[in-house]
Amino acid sequence: MTELLITSKIPGKLIIWKFPGPTTSQTSENGYYKSTYIGQTFQAKDSKIWKYELKYTDFGTSFTAEIQIWELENPDDPHSLPSKLLETIDTINVPDTGGVITREVSMTEKMSPGKYYAIISKGDSKYNGPRRYSSDVIEGCIVYSSDGSSWSRITSYDLYFQLWFGQKEMTIEDYGYSEAYVLRVEYLENGTQIVLDDEINLRGDQGDVDDLPSQVLIPFRKAKWISGSVKFYGVGIP
């Protein structure tokens, strides 16, 4: 059973992190492109993605698509072209009616936060057509290819997409700590539920705060996402 730790000093580093992680979102659309490989470049805000969303056009025919993460030729340039497949994170069946597809994934490979990558939908060249927006509204661009070896870019357009960074279940080791203690919890969304160490249920709505006395800490080793999101303030010990 997890217990509160009452102490005067804990040697460590003050840490603040959002769980399950930040998001990147562009959800306006008014057209589409078709290509075997087509996707959007983005900046990694954490080492992994745990959920994504894409919107497909109604082509009247279903098809299978692989969702892939690619490294770029220049990871510091949001308009750079894909150069190497990092990982296939999902395989989906796009229905003949198209529509929004939102899926949770478990990435194995890690991205470098702050660097740029591309999320790519690889499907049948006749039908693979995620929705796009008519102007460049985020940092990044559409990239496409017929065979995955030679790529082109469209810098004046963006895809309809959302990315949720971080992990659905995190451990303190993911952040390079051997011990961690929670001092304060801020709830960022209504209906939030986070479970610490499989037994402490944190629940709240947007704007709610669990603010512990300065002499009381909650030790924990992992956090599991159920719904919503929080911002933790705590102490991490290497």
The total number of structural domains in the chain stands at 2
pLDDT computed for residue 78 by the predictor:
96
Residues 48 and 129 in one domain: yes
Residues 174 and 219 in one domain: yes
Residues 174 and 139 in one domain: no
For residue range 158-199, what is the model confidence (pLDDT) as tens digits?
Answer: 999 999 998 888 888 887 888 888 889 999 999 999 999 999
| pLDDT at residue 6 greater than cutoff 50 | no
- Identity at 221, one-letter amino acid code: R
Residues 69 and 138 in one domain: yes
Residues 133 and 232 in one domain: no
What is the pLDDT of the chain when averaged over all its residues? Answer: 88
Neighbours of 236 (CB within 10 A): 18
Among 165, 195, 228, the domain-final residue is 165
Instruction: List the single range of 36-50, 61-75, 201-215 with lowest mean pLDDT.
Output: 201-215
The answer to whether the beta carbons of residues 63 and 123 sit under 8 Å apart is yes
* 215 pLDDT tier (thresholds 50, 70, 90): low
- Residue 223: both structure tokens together: 């956090």
pLDDT computed for residue 10 by the predictor:
56
Neighbours of 115 (CB within 10 A): 14
Residues 32 and 124 in one domain: yes
Residues 77 and 173 in one domain: no
Q: How far apart are CA 131 and CA 115, in angstroms?
A: 24
User: Closest by alpha carbon to 185, among 235, 234, 237, 236?
Assistant: 234
Residues 161 and 80 in one domain: yes
Q: Percentage of the chain surpassing pLDDT 90? A: 55
Residues 81 and 193 in one domain: no
Residues 143 and 35 in one domain: yes
pLDDT computed for residue 157 by the predictor:
86
* 1 pLDDT tier (thresholds 50, 70, 90): very low
- Identity at 21, one-letter amino acid code: G
The answer to whether the beta carbons of residues 171 and 20 sit under 8 Å apart is no
pLDDT computed for residue 214 by the predictor:
61
Beta partners for 26? 161
Over residues 31-53, the mean pLDDT reads 92
Give the domain range for residue 179: 5-20+169-237
The answer to whether the beta carbons of residues 135 and 157 sit under 8 Å apart is yes
pTM: 0.81
CATH code of residue 33: 2.60.120
Q: How far apart are CA 70 and CA 82, in angstroms?
A: 6
- Better pLDDT: 91 or 132: 91
Among 122, 141, 165, the domain-final residue is 165
pLDDT computed for residue 36 by the predictor:
92
For residue range 121-155, what is the model confidence (pLDDT) as tens digits?
Answer: 999 877 788 887 767 678 899 999 999 999 999 98
* The length of the chain, given as a count of residues: 238
